[in-house]
Amino acid sequence: MGRGTTWQSAVVASLSVSGAFLGAAAPIPEVPHGQFADEVGALTTGHDYVWTERERSAEATGDVPVELDLRVIAHASLDGAELERTSETVQKLLAAAGVLSRWRDCSGAGCSADPGSVAIDVLLLPMTKLTERDVYGEVAHDAITGAPTVLIYVPPIADRVRAIRSSIDGRSNPALATMQTGHLVGAAIAHEVGHALGLRHGARGVMKGRLTFDDALALRTSRLLFTSSEGATMRSTLRTARNSVAAPAR
Answer whether 87's CB lies under 8 Å from 180's CB: no
The number of C-alpha atoms within 13 Å of 73 and in the hemisphere containing its C-beta is 13
Q: Which of 143, 134, 107, 104 is nearest to 120 (CA)?
A: 104
Answer whether 153's CB lies under 8 Å from 129's CB: yes
| pLDDT for the residue 243 | 84
| pLDDT for the residue 84 | 96
Answer whether 157's CB lies under 8 Å from 108's CB: no
Angle at 203 between CA 180 and CA 35, to 5 degrees: 40
Q: Say if pTM beats, i.e. exceeds, 0.85.
A: no
pLDDT averaged over 10-residue windows placed end to end, the chain, 250 residues: 31 37 28 34 32 48 72 88 97 97 86 78 94 91 92 96 94 95 97 97 94 93 97 95 66
**18 to each of 6, 134, 150, 168, 169, how far by Cα in Å?**
21, 18, 11, 37, 35
CATH superfamily of this structure's domain 2-243:
Collagenase (Catalytic Domain) (3.40.390.10)
- At position 174, the amino acid (one-letter code) is P
| pLDDT for the residue 42 | 25
| pLDDT for the residue 145 | 86
Neighbours of 202 (CB within 10 A): 19
Q: What is the DSSP letter of 217?
A: H
Q: Which of 236, 186, 222, 187 is nearest to 207 (CA)?
A: 187
At a CB cut-off of 8 Å and minimum separation 6, what does 117 contact? 67, 69, 245
- At position 196, the amino acid (one-letter code) is A
Helix axis angle for 181-196 and 154-166, nearest 10°, is: 130
> With 0-12 CB in 10 A as exposed, 13-18 as middle and 19+ as buried, what is 141?
middle
Domains of the chain, by residue range, sit at 2-243
Question: CA-to-CA distance for 225 and 219, rounded, in angstroms?
Answer: 8
Question: CA-to-CA distance for 133 and 128, rounded, in angstroms?
Answer: 5
| pLDDT for the residue 62 | 41
